[in-house]
Amino acid sequence: MKRVILLDTAAIPGGGELGLYEHGDDLVIKVMGGQDLMSTRTHGSADALADLICPEVAGRERARVLIGGLGVGFTLAAALRHLGPDAEVVVAELVPGVVEWNRGALGEHAGHPLRDERVTVEEVDVSLILKASGRAFDAILLDVDNGPEGLTRKSNDWLYSKAGLTASFRVLRPRGVLGVWSAGTDRAFTKRLGQAGFEVDEVPVRAHRGKGARHLIWVARVPE
């Protein structure tokens, strides 16, 4: 049996703590005393979040993409593979420790995407960027908490509320695209996306290369 070793902990602003664990050859981030959040082994749906959204904006001049939630870095790495050399990716990560882990050994698993010169990291709640921005982004990728069913912070609920989705709609440029990762389906959330003005597709994905747990990604477009 593979040993599970706690490598480090990181405080979540506002309360709680995350742990970085070594599990064989893989690294896992989990809520201390709670469940796993993400792993370097099962990142298929994290890749899919960028694979579904970024090709739609990759051909635009100086495309700007906002990623809410750095995690283990695979969504960012996938986004960079699709985007051109003049693109900019802003990553909002609330937990400074997660950024530190991605600059270190954790980053090796995704190919150290934070070293890409197209990337800017903001150690803030992504909601602050949404509230403060005008029509600043061509795409927004949200992989925060467990999706609309929050797990680590109650304040994450705003992102998935009608007010939060309206804010995302407002900061997207014409023909902009919002992608939202979730651990499962949520009919009420799909309805809220439509109420905010988006045209919505629900795309089921698997956690790991076509197998594993079933996750869902909402692809929500600003109508032309």
Q: Is residue 210 very low, low, confident or very high in pLDDT (cuts 50, 70, 90)?
A: low
Residues 89 and 66: their CA atoms lie apart, in Å, by 6
Q: Is residue 212 very low, low, confident or very high in pLDDT (cuts 50, 70, 90)?
A: low
CB half-sphere exposure, 194, CA atoms < 13 A: 8
What pLDDT digit, counting tens, does each position of 34-91 carry? 778 888 988 888 999 999 999 999 999 999 999 999 999 999 999 999 999 999 999 9
Residues 122 and 90: their CA atoms lie apart, in Å, by 7
Determine the average pLDDT of the residues in 170-189: 93
pLDDT for 151 equals 47
Residues 110 and 39: their CA atoms lie apart, in Å, by 11
Residues 79 and 49: their CA atoms lie apart, in Å, by 9
pLDDT for 128 equals 95
Q: Quote the percentage of the chain above a pLDDT of 90.
A: 72
Lowest-confidence segment of 39-53, 102-116, 145-159, 172-186 by average pLDDT:
145-159
- Structure tokens belonging to residue 160: 């998935």
Strand partners, 177: 139, 221
Residues 38 and 74: their CA atoms lie apart, in Å, by 10
pTM, two decimals, is: 0.93
Domains and CATH numbers, the chain: 41-221 (3.40.50.150)
